[in-house]
């Protein structure tokens, strides 16, 4: 099963909330990580240094699959991929 993580910049992030709502409406199971929480400094470093993003949300969905921003097409592709691979 593919691990899906939505890295958010907090409740004030409209694109983050829209991404999460779209994924919830599609029935996707995902982990939410609030990058504004100091306890998540390691994940923030992963997003900025390893993945190269400076804006949120960032969605990471398995090995080498990630994007930043509100991307309905990215979510649609993810749903298709999960359906094909047999897991949501």
Q: pTM of the entire structure?
A: 0.91
* pLDDT single digits (tens) 2-52: 899 999 999 999 999 999 999 999 999 999 999 999 999 999 999 999 999
Domain total of the chain: 1
**Domain containing residue 70: CATH number:** 3.40.30.10
DSSP output for 19-31: HHHHHHHTT---E
**Residue ranges making up the domain that contains 8:** 4-85
Q: CA 63, CA 14: separation in Å to the nearest integer?
A: 26
């Amino acid at each position: 099963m593919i691990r899906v993580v939505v890295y958010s910049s907090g409740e004030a992030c409209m694109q983050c909330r829209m991404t999460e709502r779209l994924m919830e409406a599609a029935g996707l199971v995902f982990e939410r990580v609030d990058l504004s929480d100091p306890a998540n400094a390691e994940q923030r470093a992963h997003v900025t240094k390893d993945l190269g993003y400076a804006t949120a949300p960032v969605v990471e969905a398995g090995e080498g699959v990630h994007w930043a921003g509100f991307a309905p097409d990215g979510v649609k592709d993810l749903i298709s991929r999960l359906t094909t691979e047999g897991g949501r």
